[in-house]
Structures are given as structure tokens and as C-alpha cells.
Amino acid sequence: MVEVEELRPHADHMSTIEDSDSVASIVARITLFNAGFEEHKQHFHHTQLHGTVGRDFDCIENTLDELKHKFTQLKTQLKALGSESRNGTLDVAKYRAKDDLASTRYHDPWALKLEEYKRYGRQLIMPEVGMPGQLRLKASSVLIVGAGGLGCPAAAYLAGAGVGKIGIMDGDIVEVSNLHRQVMHNSAWVGKSKAVSLGNALRLINPLPRYEIHPYHLVPENSAIAAGYSMILDCTDRPSSRYLISDMAVVHGIPLVSASALRTEGQIMVLNDPPVSSDSEKAGPCYRCIFPRPPPPESVQSCGEGGILGPVVGVMGVLQALEAVKVIMRPPDRPANPPSLIMFSAYGSQMFRTMRIRGKNPTCSACSSDTTITRQSLESGSQDYMAFCGALEASDVLAAKDRVSVMDFASMINRSGTPVNHTLVDVREKPQFELCNMLGSVHVPFSLLRRWKNAEEATTALSIDIESHEPIYVVCRLGNDSQATVNKLRELGIDRNGARKIMDIKGGWEAWRKDIDQSWPEY
């Protein structure tokens, strides 16, 4: 088999179509290009006669005929477009994307690759999408912060839709407890990076987009990463990250789709749309405009603490992808939708409700003209989002003398001889307590005890004598609510100014499972 030079349009025969090109000149170049193909064809006829090509000629000839047919079609289309030109000049820009999100140019005979026509055909034929919408999708870039229950379905549908570049940022690893709702991960990836796992899964769905993997957590110091994207999806579950991501979207001038899900409910908003930088009067609100103050720390729960029904977070993730696609494909002359909050309740009589929300706050600390949050202050780390949201690490709540390790607690209850009398208070919610508990423990949910007003309520619920010196040990799942409970009992005077010992079991039942009893269920 002989080596045959690859056939391709020469620069002199088929250069890039520019706005100033006339229909006649474009057609002339196509004709010249086809003439070049005929010359190649005659050459191969000659070599066949001399026996140097042999059986390869039929294949090459078929390829030449197919390419000729394609360019003949283009020639016909360009002639048809000539009637729409002014003074013999083809307004090619009319058929290009008309905004920054769709700057793809018609370098090839077809605006998309043939594979893209076939892959995206079912949405291309929709009037809401069409060629302009698909080109905007292809030219867009979306950063997804969080590769969990929200990020998995959102990323899958954005990849399937043909978004040009998708960034995935998450510093966590895949755990078995994730798999019931984070459906793009699988058992083979347990213990490995969520960002890498999701990226690999997306490539199997659609290998055409560019995927950028960021296997680390978002912090103010690395927020400059947003500069490489035209949209952000907030798929996290903490207030501190929500404020950070919103500020990041504002300073970089890009829209944000923010969603949350917990238990059987979810909500979603499109923020900073259009961005502040586009038009200060028409700009959409940011997260701080809607929620100037964060919720009380004790009222905040993550999926790991409050629980989540898998399809609920899946619905919200799919809605994030839908809202993102709508924003990306929106023509530049069409205004953004009024700001609204979509609420979902799996068990509600009306599963979806839409509520109009306030617009841009003229005194907002993030997006107003008097903002104190700039790109420089953000990336310098001077903004303390954990402190702003009142979130402290569990180890900072109580002093070391007020906590006991699971090792020491196990030694105490298993001590030979006279057992140490004590009261073990389990403050997990009822569904968790029913999964597994220690015999003899007193169950009082944290959601109930934090509303106690006086010592009488506490002693009645705990079935304890206020005058007793018997120590009280408090345990929860991870060691967070138990510390708040110790402080609450002290505020009510149960410790009698230190006369009675009230201790937190450090690390909760999760630490007990790891260090003491591996048969304790992990959930």
C-alpha cells in the first residue's frame, strides 16, 4: 500500500469566509477548490495505470466524490444566501452568534462537526435552540463547584447539551454513603477524588467538551479560577461557600445558578443575571441582596446531618442545568427573567412553587457601587466567610477539659469492679437513634432540647435529679451537637456551677465505630 498525501483545502483555494467577501468570490474559491480535486483525481488515475496504487484507488475516488458533493451543497447554499446580501456582500455575521457566549466562526463548510449534528440533533431542531443556541452552548464555559448530589446531574446534562468547557471543583473523596444520590460516581471510585470521578464519567457521556478538573476545595485565595469561565453553578451545601461563590461571581461579572436540597425539599435561584458589570441598573441580585445575613449556625444542617432523599437532590441538580442552559442560549436582545425563587417539596400538595424575590439591593456590600468586596480583597483572603456565617470547627466549641475521648469513655463503662454511675444522653434525631443506640442511654433530640427554657424541663426530660453529682456524658453522631448540648445544660444550671460534671464524647458515634466497635453501623 502506498502512502497518499492527505487531501485538504489549500489556503489559496478555501480561506476563511470574512464579512466583506462577496458571494461571487466565495463561489469562485469553491470552484477552484473542486478543480484541485479533479487534478488529484487525474493523478491517481495515472498512478493506477502504472500499478502503483492498485486497489486503494476505488476508496480514494469515493472519498473525493463525497467531498465534491459536500462542496457542491455549500455552493448551492451560498448562492441562495446571495439574495440576502446587500450590494453583493454576504452578511456572514448574521449567521454567527451575536454575543460573547457564541463567538464561534464559520471556518468550516458546516457550523458544527458532523458528529455534533448527530449528537445534538434532537435539541437543534427545536426553535428554542437551533443553530444560534447550540453555538452559544459550544462557546460557553461553566464552573461547577461541588461534585456531589447537585453537581452530578447538573454536570451530566450540561455535558450532554454540548457546553464547550466544564470545570469541576471538589476536594472531597467518594464515599459509599454518597452513592445513593451522587449517581455519576460508582463503587469502583470509593476513596478517590470526586472531581476526577465525575470528570471520567462525563467523558463517557460526551467526549467533545473540554473538561477541567480541580480536585481541591474552593477558598477565597483560589477564587481567581472563575476568570476562566462564563458561568458558575453552586452545588455546595454550606452557607459560607454560598456567600463566597456569590461574591466570586460578582467580582468576575458572570451569572450564577445556586441551588440547595435537604431532606425532601429544595430551592433554586439564578443570580447576578445579567452581571453587575453589564449594566448597573439592569443587573440581577446577588446572594447577599437576597440574604444579607446568614442563618443562625445552629439552624444549618448538611445532607450528612439532616439527611436527603436521592431523587430530591437529583431534581434540583437537573433544574440547575436547565436554568444554566436557558441563560446561556438567551439571545442578547432578550431581557433576563425577573428574579425568582423556585421551591420544590416532594411531599407537598403543590410540588413546585415560584416566588418573586427582591431585585438588586442598592446598598449591597457585594454588588452595589459602594461595595467593600473586590477581587483583590477576595483573593487576598481578607474575607473570613467562616466567621461571617458563625461556623466554627467542632474543636473550638468546648475546652479540652470538657471533653472525653471514646477510649476513656469505653474504659470507664467497662471498668472492672464497681461500675461508674453516669447518665449517657444521646442527642441524635429519632431516625438516627432508631438505627443504632447504646443500651441504657437517654434519648433527647437536639432539636427539642435546644428549646428548653429552664432546668425543670431538662431534668424532667432527662429523668435526672438536679441535686445529683452523677456525671452526664453527651453524645451525637459526629461530636458537634453534643458540644452545643453541654453548653445548653450549663446555661440551664444543670452543672450547679461546676459541682456536677457534664462532658462531651469527642467525635461521637463515628469515633466510637472507628476506634472501639467496628460492628457499629456506619451511615
The response to whether 149 counts as a known ligand-binding position is yes
Bridging pattern class, strands 423-426 and 472-475? parallel
The response to whether 178 counts as a known ligand-binding position is yes
The response to whether 45 counts as a known ligand-binding position is no
Look up residue 370 and give its three cell numbers.
459602594
Query: Using an 8 Å Cβ cutoff, are 181 and 175 in contact?
Result: no
232-246: b or e for each residue (b if 16 or more CB lie within 10 Å)?
Answer: bbbbbbbbbbbbbbb
Residues 244, 223: Cα–Cα separation, whole Å? 9
The response to whether 179 counts as a known ligand-binding position is yes
Active site residue 476: yes
The response to whether 177 counts as a known ligand-binding position is yes
Which one from 152, 235, 389, 476 is the annotated catalytic residue? 476
Residues 136, 155: Cα–Cα separation, whole Å? 17
The response to whether 436 counts as a known ligand-binding position is no
Residues 48, 133: Cα–Cα separation, whole Å? 48
The response to whether 181 counts as a known ligand-binding position is yes
The response to whether 465 counts as a known ligand-binding position is no
The maximal CA–CA distance of the chain, rounded, in angstroms, is 112
Amino acid at 258: S
The response to whether 235 counts as a known ligand-binding position is no
The response to whether 266 counts as a known ligand-binding position is no
Closest CA to 490 of 392, 424, 408, 402: 402
Which one from 152, 235, 303, 389 is the annotated catalytic residue? 303
β partners of residue 403:
504
The response to whether 377 counts as a known ligand-binding position is no
CA 468 from chain center: how many Å? 52
484 backbone dihedrals φ, ψ, rounded to 5°: -65, -35
Active site residue 59: no
The response to whether 59 counts as a known ligand-binding position is no
Amino acid at 97: A
Query: Using an 8 Å Cβ cutoff, are 251 and 374 in contact?
Result: yes
Known binding residues for ATP: 149, 170, 177-181, 194, 237-238
Known binding residues for Zn(2+): 286, 289, 364, 367
| Residues labelled catalytic | 303, 476
Known binding residues: 149, 170, 177-181, 194, 237-238, 286, 289, 364, 367
